[in-house]
Structure 1
Amino acid sequence: MTNPPALPGFDTVVLGGGVAGCVLAARLSENPDRSVCLVEAGPDHGPRQESWPQKVLNARALPRDDVWERHGAFHRVRARILGGSSCIKGAWNTWGSHADHAEWTRAGGDRWSATALEPYRLRAVERMALRTVPDRELSLWASSALLAARDLGHEEVDMAAPGRPGYGRPLLNAVDGLRFNAAFAYLDPAVRSRPNLTILSDVLVDRLDVRAGRVRGARAVLDGRPVTLTADTYVLTCGTFGSPTVLLRSGVGPAAHLAEHGIRCAADLPGVGGNLSDQPGVFVPLSPTRELNAALAAKEAEGRLYVSRMLIRAASEYCPDGAWDLHLLPTAGPPLVGALPPGQYEAGVSAFLMKPASRGQVRLRSADPEAPPEITPAFLTDPGGRDLAVVRSGLEKVRELASALKSLAVPGDGAPAHTLPDDELRGRVGTYWHPVGTCAMGPADDPQAVVDGQGAVHGVAGLRVADASILPTVPAANTQLPVLAVAEMLAQTLGT
């Protein structure tokens, strides 16, 4: 259809109902004089928690029903449901280091400093009802790992606040095994009842109509038919994989790539889809003892078995003073992939590289909005080999921690992970699922920058991006809490 029918116009259309989109829609609609429309490609199960699927509510598992690609590669997992990744991830919330904020401040200005973001961090913690892991949820493995971390000389720290390397428990958006997602926190019944807020679920965003340097409409598919949404301001919150693909289909991105797919270039921004940064890691499996298997089985019978409930922030020899570039994550419980006989469990420790130098990219396979994008994570490919060296450093620390836990689990046969050849080590890489950077912020004279420090897209009026894709570097943290805080900050910027 050449001219799809237009829905009633809005002041602001928020395209993407994930974590950031829920924050933006809730905060912007606090102004009764501003009409806001939130658009989500996946389902909305309503304001009452009891009407949501049990799989989404179960914080002991990682549900994979509401994702874009059910059987895609491990690094491609992305939510397709109102509430976004807060519905399918591990419900963990941690915070990064001051070094992260220094990187962001250089790209986006003082509003990105640790001090400036602190009130928004606190606001997000309160709204999401985040809480510390209670003692009753610690398995024998987790409680032993906490003691081992202390005995190895690590300092206990608050994982969800600015700080130092050390060990501790994350904050959770879950209570007694029930996941409390961003849709519950920000789009509660009172918010949903606002007459100036419209929520459209199961609506696929195709592209933006960009003409003469301004967005004139957002084209989407509603009930199988094309429609156009119009607004004064359009905010992309489709995530690190989704936001760049919408921009590319809209003709905003590298001109040569757009030409390959027959897309008219409306704004030549080479950085769109580049600079992809995620946190790779290597899992070191251990064989649980009979004692550990029995303890885990008893915990599971109580309904309180969680695979992971603590972590260690660690610094390699390549890390700046006072910061950390590794997460050491002990886990024990049912395997993430596959199954084991009753009473038997998987145990091990992962080393995750939190500050990778390697950069991947997101590109279109075609201009069809239903076609999945081409995602190249490029883990451990930096020319200098630093990422691989940091992972090896992390695996040496894993060996120390595993040795301290050897009464509960022992290493299997074979060479220690940190001594494996480069190719074999790369073959064992997984991900922490924290991609950022594909619409990176930076000054207008930076050819790789896509947005400024307020999320405004360079060269395109009326368009902002306000999700993890604008972070130029990944924080040394799980990204949910940082994205919540950033969305809180950007919502205030948009609202003034």
Structure 2
Amino acid sequence: MSDYLGYDVVIIGGGVAGCVLAARLSEDPGRSVCLVEAGPDHGPDRRSWPEGLLDARALPRDDVWEEDSAPYRIRAKVLGGSSSINGCWHTWGAQEDYAEWAGVGGPDWSEAGLEPFRRMAAERMRLRPIPDGELSAWSRGARAAAAELGYPEISDMSLPGRGTGYGCPPVNAIGDLRWNAAFGYLDAARSRPNLRILDRATVNRLVVGDGRVHGVELDARGERVTLSADLYLLAAGTYGSPAVLMRSGIGPAEHLAEVGVETQVDLPGVGANLTDHSCLVLPLTPTAELNRALAELEAAGKLYASQVAVKAATEHCEPGTWDLHLLPTAGAPLFGTLPPGQYEVGVTAFLMKPASRGRLRLRSADPEVAPDIDPRLLADPDGRDLAVARRGLELAAELAATTALKQWASPGNAPGRATDEELRAGAGTYWHPVGTCAMGEDAVVDGEGRVHGVANLRVIDASILPTIPRSNTQLPVLAVAEMLAAKLTGQRHVE
């Protein structure tokens, strides 16, 4: 096994958080930084990136960890992480979400504390509103439908705000170009001699002993390599980070023994507290006129299935907040195919403050073996999530029944009341998993991402969020990474 030269900082994971950390920490020319990414780095030249990864309207699925897996398991394996394959949307949660975080991590985690970093992230990611001219007939109808039901319009859903409403979330795009985190954060940093980007390098484990990390073992393009550093930052995501920790002997001792890993630090919280925005879909049948309109957009390369979000509230959420996103969608199916000229249309109800918690465990200490992920959607023992989901479907049906939308699509045969088992079986996710390395006194990390019991290791990504925000998670994670990078560097950037 060969040894690479040591670095001041090694960052494990080139997703949105890793890109922020690499860019910010390498601003000091005296600090050497190595960013390790399991997937490919397609480089600074846009022409070398696959066309599918550049299209802001597409949801590419080639650069992922596990092909043909359950939909909730989809995670990016490419520089830029989820920002390279997701829907490009940016929304912001409720003030109460960040108050929950601040209660655990301190005032910098509050909405006010994160605000300068939210603005910095929005600028770096080139957030732009969706012009009216880009909206499909279905999306224009969705906006009119929300207004018809009395929801107020929200001009910018990436800004802090209270209450329900509707709008078009801004996207990280320049025209049709997906402006991912690799472009937004690493373009200006690539020329720095103190930054190295090591792509196609899969982490095996951290070498841990005496309460410190002494190296990180990885497979870099077929070569076994050990990197050493003074500080290790784990940013492999909600599924990747706990798996790396457990393979390294950091996690629940009883489970580690089951998979043959020697325990270095017994942290039962590793892999626990998995939370995601679960969803149920109300399918609709499009009219021939809507199919024709969508086909014209698709032929012009301008079809984006989902452009409008409605923040809705049930009786189960706090006053002034929301617990649902209603997404009217019309476009090519996310999974499977339809005949040419036919499109998938519906309204999806997403639970934005779920009570259910899942977990992640190792199947094996072998890094080539995918972890065992159990999201446990709609499974909270009190049945609150099921109640919110049922109400969400009712509100989705109200939206579909408005004058503005029923001219474009109609519900199919009215089904009977679904059983709890049928709802759970039909549940999907928003692809916003968080919480498997949660911060807290008795959890996995503290308010600066420091792993309990390991002096020179921090986790900085969505896995450390103790609760899920009422929003798409990309913008909050970018803001958190900016904030924690500022703590590491002792700076508060102003851009």
Shorter-chain TM band: over 0.9
1:62 aligns with 2:65: no
In the alignment, the residues of structure 2 paired with residue 341 and residue 230 of structure 1 have an alpha-carbon distance, to the nearest angstrom, of: 53
Q: 1:390 maps to what in 2?
A: 388
In the alignment, the residues of structure 1 paired with residue 298 and residue 211 of structure 2 have an alpha-carbon distance, to the nearest angstrom, of: 57
Q: 2:182 maps to what in 1?
A: 183
Unaligned runs of 5+ in 2: 491-495
Alignment of 1:155-304 (within 5 A): 155-157=152-154, 158-164=156-162, 165-188=164-187, 190-304=188-302
In the alignment, the residues of structure 2 paired with residue 181 and residue 388 of structure 1 have an alpha-carbon distance, to the nearest angstrom, of: 35
1:35-84 per-position Cα deviation (integer Å, ceiling 9, x unaligned): 10000001010011111001111222211111110111111101110100
Q: Is the 8 A contact 1:335 1:345 kept in 2?
A: yes
SS at match of 1:92: coil
Q: 1:492 maps to what in 2?
A: 486
- Residue 393 of structure 1, CA deviation: 1.1
- Residue 304 of structure 1, CA deviation: 1.4
Residue of 437, 446, 469 corresponding to 1:439: 437
In the alignment, the residues of structure 1 paired with residue 361 and residue 300 of structure 2 have an alpha-carbon distance, to the nearest angstrom, of: 46
Alignment of 1:149-160 (within 5 A): 149-157=146-154, 158-160=156-158
Query: What letter matches 2:319 in structure 1?
Result: D
In the alignment, the residues of structure 2 paired with residue 244 and residue 440 of structure 1 have an alpha-carbon distance, to the nearest angstrom, of: 10
In the alignment, the residues of structure 2 paired with residue 350 and residue 389 of structure 1 have an alpha-carbon distance, to the nearest angstrom, of: 16
Q: 1:480 maps to what in 2?
A: 474
In the alignment, the residues of structure 1 paired with residue 343 and residue 252 of structure 2 have an alpha-carbon distance, to the nearest angstrom, of: 48
Q: Is the 8 A contact 1:217 1:231 kept in 2?
A: yes
1:277-298 per-position Cα deviation (integer Å, ceiling 9, x unaligned): 0111011110111221122122
In the alignment, the residues of structure 1 paired with residue 438 and residue 230 of structure 2 have an alpha-carbon distance, to the nearest angstrom, of: 23
1:331-369 per-position Cα deviation (integer Å, ceiling 9, x unaligned): 001111222222221111000001111111110010001
1:14 aligns with 2:11: yes
Query: What letter matches 1:179 in structure 2?
Result: R
In the alignment, the residues of structure 1 paired with residue 343 and residue 74 of structure 2 have an alpha-carbon distance, to the nearest angstrom, of: 24
Query: What letter matches 2:324 in structure 1?
Result: L
Query: What letter matches 2:376 in structure 1?
Result: A
1:383-422 per-position Cα deviation (integer Å, ceiling 9, x unaligned): 0000111111111110110001111100001326xx3111
In the alignment, the residues of structure 2 paired with residue 56 and residue 253 of structure 1 have an alpha-carbon distance, to the nearest angstrom, of: 35
Query: What letter matches 2:340 in structure 1?
Result: P
1:312 aligns with 2:310: yes
In the alignment, the residues of structure 2 paired with residue 159 and residue 329 of structure 1 have an alpha-carbon distance, to the nearest angstrom, of: 14
Alignment RMSD, CA only? 1.0
Residue of 88, 92, 98 corresponding to 1:91: 88
228-237 or 336-345, which deviates more: 336-345
Query: What letter matches 1:184 in structure 2?
Result: F
Query: What letter matches 2:74 in structure 1?
Result: V
Q: Is the 8 A contact 2:126 2:174 kept in 1?
A: no
SS at match of 2:280: strand
1:188-227 per-position Cα deviation (integer Å, ceiling 9, x unaligned): 0x31010100100000111111110111111111121211
Alignment of 1:337-348 (within 5 A): 337-348=335-346
Query: What letter matches 1:432 in structure 2?
Result: Y
Q: 1:408 maps to what in 2?
A: 408
What count of residue pairs does the alignment treat as equivalent? 486
1:256-303 per-position Cα deviation (integer Å, ceiling 9, x unaligned): 011111211110000000000011101111011122112212222332
Q: 1:429 maps to what in 2?
A: 427
Unaligned runs of 5+ in 1: none
SS at match of 1:415: coil
Q: Is the 8 A contact 1:69 1:77 kept in 2?
A: yes
In the alignment, the residues of structure 1 paired with residue 249 and residue 30 of structure 2 have an alpha-carbon distance, to the nearest angstrom, of: 32
- Residue 156 of structure 1, CA deviation: 1.2
1:72 aligns with 2:69: yes
Residue of 459, 464, 471 corresponding to 1:470: 464
In the alignment, the residues of structure 1 paired with residue 51 and residue 296 of structure 2 have an alpha-carbon distance, to the nearest angstrom, of: 23
Alignment of 1:452-467 (within 5 A): 452-467=446-461
SS at match of 2:97: helix
1:110 aligns with 2:107: yes
Q: Is the 8 A contact 2:41 2:79 kept in 1?
A: yes
Query: What letter matches 1:5 in structure 2?
Result: S
SS at match of 1:307: coil
Q: Is the 8 A contact 1:136 1:304 kept in 2?
A: no
1:45 aligns with 2:32: no
1:291-325 per-position Cα deviation (integer Å, ceiling 9, x unaligned): 21122122223321110101001111000011111
- Residue 111 of structure 1, CA deviation: 0.7
**What percent of counterpart residues are identical?**
63
Runs of 4+ in 1 over 6 A off after TM superposition: none
1:212-255 per-position Cα deviation (integer Å, ceiling 9, x unaligned): 01111111111212111111100000000000000000000000
- Residue 184 of structure 1, CA deviation: 0.8
In the alignment, the residues of structure 2 paired with residue 217 and residue 487 of structure 1 have an alpha-carbon distance, to the nearest angstrom, of: 23
Structure 1 length as normaliser, TM-score? 0.97
1:376 aligns with 2:374: yes
SS at match of 2:2: coil
SS at match of 2:360: strand
SS at match of 1:286: strand
In the alignment, the residues of structure 1 paired with residue 311 and residue 221 of structure 2 have an alpha-carbon distance, to the nearest angstrom, of: 47
Structure 2 length as normaliser, TM-score? 0.97
- Residue 186 of structure 1, CA deviation: 0.6
Q: Is the 8 A contact 1:49 1:184 kept in 2?
A: no
In the alignment, the residues of structure 2 paired with residue 342 and residue 248 of structure 1 have an alpha-carbon distance, to the nearest angstrom, of: 46
In the alignment, the residues of structure 2 paired with residue 141 and residue 482 of structure 1 have an alpha-carbon distance, to the nearest angstrom, of: 29
In the alignment, the residues of structure 2 paired with residue 70 and residue 302 of structure 1 have an alpha-carbon distance, to the nearest angstrom, of: 29
Q: Is the 8 A contact 2:102 2:109 kept in 1?
A: yes
In the alignment, the residues of structure 2 paired with residue 293 and residue 63 of structure 1 have an alpha-carbon distance, to the nearest angstrom, of: 23
1:352 aligns with 2:346: no
SS at match of 2:34: strand
